[in-house]
Structure 1
Amino acid sequence: MRVIPRRRKDRRGSQDAAPSAPATTWPASATAAGPSAGAEPSSPSKPSKPSKPSKGSGRAGGGGPAKGVKSAGSPEPSSAAAGGATGTLELEPGTVTGPVTGPVTGTESGPEAARRARSAERRRTAAELKRSRAARRRGTARRDRAAREHRSSMLAMIIMLGLLIATVVVSGGLFAASMRTRPVTLAAPLHIYPVTQTAPGQCPAGTQGISGQTSGGPACYQLSQGIAIRKVADLRVQRARDRNAYDVAITLRSNDRQAFAALTRATLNRDLAFVVRNQLVTVPRVDTPILDGKVMITGPSSRAEAGRLVRSLRGG
């Protein structure tokens, strides 16, 4: 089998006389290693006849063979070299060809690629879900820790506030109790005498008694041996039980309570004269023995009158 270039009619005789380059042969089937099984081998094609030289061309300058003449350097391909391939491959002049090297590669099949893509997507989804769950757990743990710290701080604050209130209450109660129990020093000693007899008019000179004013006029109160009080635990005005009058409350100290209790026992249903600076302040009647040192003088009809009685008993 030969491969010859095509003849062009417009070539000049000098060019026709030039020798042609050896043509490159190529098997008709690049992958065929021999004749196909069961197919009859085709006979090689007959060589083409050389073209007749055009008139007046002849040899030009003693060049190579003219068109249509087989080149000496072009070997004739054998059927064994062609590998049993049939047909001819005709190339354009000036075309450079070469063998095809390297394996032919292609893409994976559709189902396998889709399966791998789905598997990768599931793995990505699982990883993102795991990360999101871990982030939620961390956030929940932080919120729980912050809530516990907040509750602890609130509880501590409430406890501190309760302790502060209790301290204030106890301190206030103790202060009030101390104020109530703090001794009141009288400006002048308070003398308390049992009254043995009451006579109208002023007391005569040399009589052991004291003159006072009653609703019926002046009166003379004859007195016996009494006690003197210089300090009391409490002396104040308070509302009476019937809410229409006021009382004067006197709380004696412990060292005066026993003497006053003995005095009230001896003067039950009799009068006691309270005297300050030789002036009769009040003459109350003893209704019951007073053993705890808490004396209640009743009778003032107004707070102002009760206040004046308290100031007189203080020696003011």
Structure 2
Amino acid sequence: MPAAEAAPPMDEAQRRRARAAERQRAAAELKKARAAHRRGRVRQTRREESAREHRAAMLTMILTLGLLIAAVAVTGGMIAASMRTRPVTLAAPLHVYPVAQTTPGQCPTGTQGISAQAGTGPTCYHLNQGIAIRQVADLRVQRARGGNGYDVAVTLRTADRKAFAQLTRAMVGRDLAFVVRERLVTAPRVEMPINDGKVAITGPQTRADADRIIRELRGR
């Protein structure tokens, strides 16, 4: 069997060309690898930018939603506060008089008092100088304590609270007459001074009676 012929040795020029070709291949592969790396970095950068934009959009939406909720809450609170503080002007003043004494029967002509029906029959309530309330902060019907009958709950304005507090302090253990349109609504006994302006006009036995007092005060 004939022996394989050995490849002829490369001369110096061939070796230089081989080395050059090898460098070119290495450079091409390096360039290709760098290009792939750059493309990967571009894709990664784009993904990061997209994620940042998404987070920024979400944050903006959350902040906008929070501002809207806060604005609605503030506006609602302002409206509610305005409704609470807007005074109710009474069509007929609510007069509050200290009761000096009561006598059976109708009040004689010229008497500073008012006639009304009491448990013992017609009664004259002799009245001293009192106060007239023409505006209130709130006016509503509520169930009486114990659930028997109804009260007309009146919240006085700051301007009237001091005068009413002074009147109740002076009348502890005595009666006050609440009068609307020359009609005695109730004459409760003052158990303690009322300093907070929360007044309950007691007496109505039915919701209709309490609503009638509200209509008389509001004028509708």
- Whether the TM-score (by the shorter chain) exceeds 0.5 is yes
Q: What RMSD over aligned residues (CA atoms) do the two structures have, in Å?
A: 3.2
Task: Determine whether 1:222 maps to 2:126.
Answer: yes
Q: Deviations over 1:3-35 (max 9, x none)?
A: xxxxxxxxxxxxxxxxxxxxxxxxxxxxxxxxx
Task: Determine whether 1:138 maps to 2:42.
Answer: yes
The residue type equivalent to 1:252 in the other structure is L
CA distance in 1, matches of 2:145, 2:126: 32
The residue type equivalent to 2:127 in the other structure is L
* Aligned pairs for 1:285-300 within 5 A: 285-298=189-202, 300=204
TM score, norm. by length of structure 2: 0.77
Q: Deviations over 1:251-299 (max 9, x none)?
A: 2223322221221111112221111221112223322112232323345
Cα 1:203–1:162 change in 2 (3 A) is same
Cα 1:134–1:242 change in 2 (3 A) is farther
* Equivalent residue number for residue 101 of structure 1: none
1:260 to 164, 168, 171: 164
Q: Deviations over 1:169-214 (max 9, x none)?
A: 1222122112211121111222111112233433333332212233
- Pick the structure with greater CA Rg: 1
SS, match of residue 174 in structure 2: coil
1:151 to 50, 55, 58: 55
TM score, norm. by length of structure 1: 0.56
Q: Is the 8 A contact 2:161 2:196 kept in 1?
A: yes
Cα 1:279–1:297 change in 2 (3 A) is closer
* Equivalent residue number for residue 85 of structure 1: none
Cα 1:162–1:246 change in 2 (3 A) is farther
The higher relative CO (CA closer than 8 Å, separation ≥ 6) is in: 2
* Aligned pairs for 1:190-229 within 5 A: 190-229=94-133
Instruction: State how many pairs are aligned.
Output: 208
Q: Is the 8 A contact 1:239 1:246 kept in 2?
A: yes
* Equivalent residue number for residue 27 of structure 1: none
Q: Is the 8 A contact 2:140 2:154 kept in 1?
A: yes
CA distance in 2, matches of 1:209, 1:246: 26
Say which structure is richer in strand.
2
Percent identity over the alignment? 62
Say which structure is richer in helix.
2
